[in-house]
Structure 1
Amino acid sequence: MTLPSLIDLPTALLPFVSRAEEVFLADAAGPTETLQARFEAWPSARRESFARVCAASDFALDQVSRDPRMVLALAEQGLLERSLVPGELREALRQALDACADEDGLAQALRRFRNRHQLRIVWRDLSRQADLAETCRDLTDLADCCIDLTYGWLYPRLCQQYGTPIGRRSGEAQHMVVLGMGKLGAHELNLSSDIDLIFGYPEGGETEGARRSLDNQEFFIRLGQKLIKALDAVTPDGFVFRVDMRLRPYGSSGPLVFSFNALEQYYQDQGRDWERYAMIKARVVGGDPEAGRVLLEMLRPFVYRRYLDFSAIEALRNMKQLIQQEVRRKGMSENIKLGAGGIREVEFIAQAFQLIHGGRDLSLQQRPLLGVLTTLEGQGYIPAQAVAELAAGYRFLRYVEHALQAIADRQTQMLPDGELDRQRVAFMMGYPDWGAFMQQLGYWRGRIDWHFQQVIADPDDAAQAPEQEQTAGWLPLWQGELDDETACRELAEAGFRDARKACERLQGLRNGSHVRSMQRLGRERLDTFAPRLLALLVEQSDPDLVLERVLPLVEAVARRSAYLVLLTENPGALQRLLTLCGGSPWIAEQIARYPLLLDELLNEGKLYNPPEAPELFAELNERLMRIPEDDLEQQMEALRHFKLAHSLRVAASEIVGTLPLMKVSDYLTRLAEAILGQVLSLAWRNVVARYGRPRHRDGSLCDNAFIIVGYGKVGGIELGHGSDLDLVFIHDGDPVAETDGPKAIDGAQFFMRLGQRIIHLLTTHTTSGQLYEVDMRLRPSGASGLLVTSLSAYREYQNEKAWTWEHQALVRARMLAGCARLGEDFKQVRDAVLRHPHDNGKLRREVCEMRAKMRDNLGTRITAAGMGANAFSADVPFNLKHDAGGIVDIEFMVQYAALAWSHQHPELLRYTDNIRILDGLEQVGLLPGEEVRLLQEAYKAYRAAAHRLSLQKQPGVVSGDQFHDERQAVMRIWRKLGLC
């Protein structure tokens, strides 16, 4: 919404303008310095603004009447027509307070300063020279400097009187921390806000340097009392800010000031839901800023939970109900803050999403409401149209709030009932009359309330009566109120094949130790959730199977009942959970092990449509950028959650058919590449911080001289669910030259420790599992070789020592992450090694020998690895990967062809995946198109079956009567190539 428009002054307001002008006409000073002369020298635009401001605001008219020279000085200093620069307000107040000799002088200086700048802010707001953002910022800056500089004035004087408070543990001087809450904390103060404060101090102890010491708490209580009095007391000059301390622990009945430990303990043990909402906006506004940062970090876990916290919705409903009861009791429906569609509802919407998701999505850990709304849109939590309406409606209501408070500098959000003030509000908002204004106000309140209801709608609403009735029908069975026979009959009639087994499973959950030890609130949540679960289960095609798979998840999250609230609050997410559990026990096990994955079920569009590679890389980079560079634990958790979430999206998309096989492998491979790139970056930064940068052979410092090379499935862009990573590390630094850090080590040690760090980041188990299993045995000399190899040593090994099977593996090798220049050098080494001419007879023999060893060790014994006479019978297994005619045969043929013919056809080395290498063999005429298609289709069919079996947590084995045509075609082409 834009600024309210300017309209002509209503006739009813003209007498106020005359009264204001008379102030200047009544002055009796000399002719050259009269107020009248100075006033009449104003330009017409300023005179017009003066008329608008004094007509609309009794506060402004009163300030002009009390001190006309103040408004003239503001005008002549240009402060009415320009924005203040950062720090200007603080410096002006500092100079004013420096001249104060005692507390009476402090009080007077503060109030006169406040009145001067309050008038300036009201003037600029009502004359439309400042928008909402500037007005709120100026008011907040005014409060900030008044609080902090008053504290700075009082603290040394109390230390002189009572001694300096000293920490018992640290032995250091202690300062108080002043937390600003609510609109003050969010830089959103309105024209007549009170300020909500909480006082804290770092640690207990006593004062030193005075005849009688005081306990630190007693010292800071006295300091807090004086600070409140300096700001809040009403004197002939008015007040500075009304101070409200009721948000502190225990409210008005608690101590005025708490130690950090006491604050942490209170919020941990007794903090209530509304206090979490309040603490979202907490900001250090006075005292020791460094200690304040420590305090806010201590309190962060209370506000933002690491898991999804849909219990925030319950708390929001309860809070809203209490507010509505108060509104009705006090007749406050015309309150634009607390009434339906008011400011508080927009705040609740934003804060609900912050509390639900903010523990994991750090972008939501911010204070200004409009910034939160923008983030909610950008992160896909709320549609753009909804955010646009909420933001526009919120701005409109805040302008209305300013208009109401500008009249008399009174904290009110009630619409006026007097005709004069109604005319003033309509005028300030740019409407010709009260009716036109109320029509627009009604529109925005209606839109806000509608969006609010969408967010906090209760699944048990009367609008959902049929579903509610269906759900309630399962409550007696769940709570054990039915005898076994009746319960089994109901389950059988609902579609369960083995109703008795289903009944036993439900009883096992209900009577299990996890449930019996639940607290009352958790049990209530489970009793609400279980009937919903049963109502949706009976709609599944195989409710027995889905129940078997989903109950371990329910048991796993029973003690963390916020997850039950998530599924209760989001029936669509529960439906998707049951669909995916029915489709894959692997998915069911993953979600049961890592319940944070339930978050992914909330957005159906994202769940079944994973992002393309550029968005994938950008999303991971953005997530890690929100985490401090030195917080390795959070970075590791973020990487693991990212991998879990996107792996789930791929599996879900595969189950519902929105992602074909080749895309599944592509996506899982790109996911690994994105993670490896970030892991390398983290490891490099960590090792450099400890040892400094290594050097190139020419002596220059390395910023990036390392690559991660992928072999096998990751190299061939064929990763599956749960695949490990075959990796090789290569560097191009000087192994002898020392690093430039304080703990210098030689280059060889640096790169070895870098490799170790990468493996540590990838394989360490945290609460979110590990990233990947890593296999380093394909590096030069295998397990006995160096963990990290220089490029020159790698080249030498491949040319002089590598076995044929190692060259076969090299066909599928490619750089995954690291230095682009070194990656290109590696590719040239790879291509040169693979293009080296081979004795084809010897090559065929060695390939066949390696294949025979693999069949003997890994193939199906009872069918002679698929080569026996019984290999195609239904009662014997066929190993999709290792038996004759299977996946490995196709891979070996491709690798043989690349080694045999790439010296003549280097284009065969362009790609590392089997499908595109086969395309290349057709393009250069080495294999006919029909045979290429047969091999490609067989390869894809085998891999598709292996993927499906993986999602069912089954080995890659099918019955021998499957894939007859594919197996025979592969074996025929194998023989045609002269392979044994």
Structure 2
Amino acid sequence: MTRAPSTLTELARLGFAELGETSERLGELDAPDLVPYFASAANPDQALRLLMGLRAVASDHLIPLLADTEAAGRLVRVLGASEGLASFLARHPEQLDALLEPLGAPPTAADYSDDLEAAVEGLSGEAAWVALRIRYRRHLTRLAAWDLEHADPILALDRVAAALADVAGAALDASLLVARRDAPFPPDQIAATKLAIIGMGKAGARELNYVSDVDVIFVGEGSEGLADDRAVEIATRLAMLTMRGIHELATEPSLWEVDANLRPEGKDGALVRTLESHVAYYERWAKGWEFQALLKARPLAGDVELGERYVAAISPMVWSSASREGFVESVQRMRERVTEHIPASEVDVQLKLGPGGLRDVEFTIQLLQLVHGQSDPRVRQRDTLSALVALADEGYIGRVEAAEFGQDYRFLRLLEHRLQLSRLRRTHLMPTDLEALRILARATGLATNADDLAEQWQRTKHAVRRLHERLFYRPLLSAVAALPEDGLSLTSEQAVARLAAIGFRDPRGALNHIAALTGGVSRRATIQRNLLPVMLQWFAEGADPDYGLLAFRKLSEDLGEAYWFLRMLRDSSGAAQRLTSVLSGSRFVGALFERIPEAAAWLENEDELRPRPLEQLLEETRATIARHADDEDAAASALRTARRREILRLALAGIVGTITIGELGHGLSDITTAVLTGALAIAHRYGDGIEFGIIAMGRYGGAELGFGSDADVMYVYRPAGASDEEAQQRAEQIVHALSRLTEDLRIPLDLDIGLRPEGKNGAIVRSLESYRAYYARWSLTWEAQALLRARGVVGDAPLLDAFEELADEVRYPASISEQDVREVKRIKARVENERLPQAADPARHLKLGRGSLSDVEWFVQLLQLQHGARVPGLRTTSTLEALAAAETEGFVDAADAGRLRDAWILASRARSAMTLWTAKTSDVLPTDHQQLEGVARLLEYPPGSASRFEDDYLRVTRLARQVFERRFYGDSRPGSRR
């Protein structure tokens, strides 16, 4: 009895979207028992529509399936998941009987080969190709039905992928069989020609997709007296015919592309070579990536014995390839190039090549296999998931990490399978259309709707990318601490491999350092022999383990047998670990340790890693000057040494995280004040006829210095007995003496006087009255703005107080005109357009870039100019203190203030971190991955977080720039916009 069509609500619950058409079609189908099966179809509307189409063209063939509800259910699932297979069944309705019986389990490779060879028995040419392709797709239909009926398709993924590789190999075998019939050569010569088809990539690893290029290499050889040259000629024709049988245009569409471009010399190389020719090429000419490609090579079709000899001959070269110089870096660069060449429109939807995609998993595992497979045969697995298990079993990857990686990889592969199954087309692009995502979610069974699937995919991508970066760029494999006692021997190839694996770029150089540190019978050598295996792992966890180990060797040699040093290493693991961290994370620190090795002792006591109060620094300065009263050069040298020592103290504190960016700024400013105090005491003796003062400006005035910052200053004097002309001459002599006495080639102290009146064209020093007259008559808005951070720091106190009183009159006007406000904005726009270095990326410049230091400081300074006269909290030289006061007064809301504060702090920290990492000053965020990683680690990001740090910086500064644009420029920004 015919049941009435389901209600619209019931249809929607089953997953139908086209409710009106569906009701009519179900009524026409008149198969009520079949309706529940549509609930398990990826696209019920498609399944019903295609089923109706099949009934129209193949009713007789369809009747047996519709009579068997289980078979009908299989058909509905296949039609709902694959228009490609539906098209095949419509072309060949006699193949519908493939779904009558459940598959049970995928056939073996031998079963597939026997069946496909039987399908082409007695056929040749296009007739054979068509028969082969039909039989192949029949197996594909049965396999897809078996795959789609699993409640958890992830569990079936491995068997499906292996079966796809097996049936692909069988198809090549059958096509080769036809080729041997069709080849225009004498039958005896064809019979004497051996041709092995080596599966590469996913085909070799038995992890093929529904629609993949099948990567192969052809190996030819003569037998029964046939010369190899003739055999290669015949084998080449056989290979070409075999490929044509798979993908040549015919009445039945091609199956997939047979890609032989991984052969020696690629497209330019011979299609077929002898085994000896292959071996000769790989021994002499092959590049590192070619051995990576051979990692999964196996006999796929053709002459199995020849194929096995090929794999046996190539395998030793594959597993020794990681010992090549620069191998790890070359693999990393290759992965990066793959990402760089993705079209911009596809980056975010690339399931295979994009960040967090399948390639991240595969490249990571292959790199670890190649590095450790040199000495550990247990990780020499062809397929990705087996290799991952082996790496975890042998301790090269943590079990939790391996489980997460494996689950994420299966999830991505399942998405790939379902996307390709849909139209039987090779694709790796995730859909963006919500309806397509909904259908994909139903096809995988892993999400209930489009939003859930999209969220799960994004979460998986981020997890894969994070783990990829942590393992791929800093492989957490076996710890060097686990090496046997002779594992540090210079001749130990295993030690070289393991050092390379955990991150040393020059493992042989590292072994040289290890030998120097542990050689001999001294107490130091004995202790370091016991400590180094552990310390090597700590070095490897740093951003630059090679430099860290070199710096440690130099430090050890400088300190020799010092008891405190050896005791610290032996008894204080915290200090030893901190030492490895700072040495492998900062060339700046390494260079200073060469001059002040005893500073390593501070790492044992956190109290030593705190900025010393200014009064203590000044007391030491006064003692130094008194001690060298008769020798100016010796006094200056002692001051420079003290400055280096205190900067090293702050560098260590910054790296190990015992001070904030605010404490760092104050500490570095105090050190500068102390050395200038000493230098001025030498250059400006009591009774020389003038008062003299140093005014801190810019970041120095705000007590916001970072590593590598210039010290912006202005100089002021006041006659005290000397004539005006004599006082000016004496003041200029003092300025020149200050530059000479503070000159330091190791850590330059650049006393920058560019913020003085009239800028570079102005006098290098002025009297207080000259400043007063200038500001009264000629002062420009930018000069008033520059005075906002003016602070008297060194010199005669009455003069410093008088200058600050004068500065207050200029920088905190009772009112500021709209014209002056526009002038501030105009100058800021001009700075953005003209001072940013040519070709510099505005988004990456830490000082002048969008949302960086300059934006925050100009915003705050404009508020100070406008409101400083009546708001005491704004009368401060500190950017962050002024910003906090502006927030308290309601000039900026808490959210906007937070964004500005975050950007200023991050840019300041990044700027100092770049100096610590490279020992050079730079204001541009690097694009190089290794450089970004080094800076990120100094900012306390975990290993492998270069991309995360970069994203954070660009996001934080972008948000700050939005606040700046809205609050500083508003709708009246002058000039061009950058």
TM-score bin (small chain): 0.3 to 0.5
Q: Normalised by the size of structure 2, how large is the TM-score?
A: 0.45
